[in-house]
Amino acid sequence: MEDLVRLEKVVRTYGHDSIQVKALKEVDLSIERGEFTVVMGPSGSGKTTMLNLIGGLDKPTEGRVLIDGRDTTRLSRSKLSKMRLEKIGFVFQAYNLIPVLTAYENAEYVLMLQGMPAAQRREKIMGLLETVGLGGMENRFPRELSGGQQQRVAIARAIAPEPELVLADEPTANLDSETAGDLLDLMARLNEEKGVTFLFSTHDPAVMERARRIIVLKDGRVAEDVTGPLKKAS
C-alpha cells in the first residue's frame, strides 16, 4: 500500500528561551491509504499535536510532514488551505462550528467551498443529517443544539466531501453509545467502500475495538504500534 501520511523525525516544541516543552520528539510514522487507525495515550502525550501537524494546522519545529508525497512544511498558507479543502476532513473536540450558520449550513460548508451544485449538496447533507440523528434539526443554530448534537454536525461536515483523510480528535466523546455506534458504522463503510483513511485520537473502547491499527504515544514518542485489536496492546 502507498503512504498517505508520513512523519519524518518530527519534533514540535512549545514555549521559548528556558521554558520549552517538547510535545513530540523525533517521531517517525507512516499511515497508508485506507487505514482505520487509532492514536491513543495519556493526556499530554502528543495526540492532538500530531493530528494538528498532519492536518496542516500547525508546523513542526523540526522534521517533515508529508501528505500524499507533498512536504507540507514547505507549503504556503494558501496552498495548505487548498490541500485541506481537497484532501482532509476534521472532527475537532471543540466542534468548531460556525455560530451564525445553521446545522445544515455548517454541514454543507466544505461542499459549497468545493463548488458542488446546491441541489446535489442538499440531497447529500439532508441524508447525512438524518443518518447522524439530526433529521428535522437542520435549521437549528449551534447554540440551539446540545454538545452531542453539535458533534454530530461536525462529523457530518467532515465526512460529507468523502475526503482522502479524516482526522478525528475524540469524535465520540459527547455521544451516547447508540449514536456513536451508528456513526462508527458510517465511517467504517466510507473506509471500506470509498477507501477514506481515518485517523482517530480517542479513549473510547468502541473506537479502539474497530481499529485495525493502534498507535500508542507516551511522552511525545511512539511507545507501541500494534496491528489488530486493543487487547494485543499493553
pLDDT tens digits for range 183-197: 888 889 889 988 999
What is the value of pTM for the model shown? 0.88
Distance (Å, whole) CA 202 – CA 180: 12
Residue with cell 433529521: 135
pLDDT of residue 234: 39
Count of CB atoms situated within 10 Å of the CB of 203: 15
Nearest residue to 29 via CA among 3, 55, 48, 61: 3
More confident residue, 228 or 111: 111
Amino acid found at 142: P
pLDDT of residue 76: 92
The angle that helices 103-113 and 118-131 make with each other, rounded to 10 degrees, is 130
> In 68-220, where do the E strands start and end?
70-71, 88-91, 165-169, 197-201, 213-218
* 130-180 tens-digit pLDDT: 988 899 999 999 999 988 899 889 989 999 998 999 999 988 887 888 888
At the topology level, CATH places domain 3-232 in: Rossmann fold (3.40.50)
pLDDT of residue 1: 64
**C-alpha torsion angle, residues 40, 43, 49, 54 (rounded to 10):** 10
Query: Which sequence spans correspond to the domains of the chain?
Result: 3-232
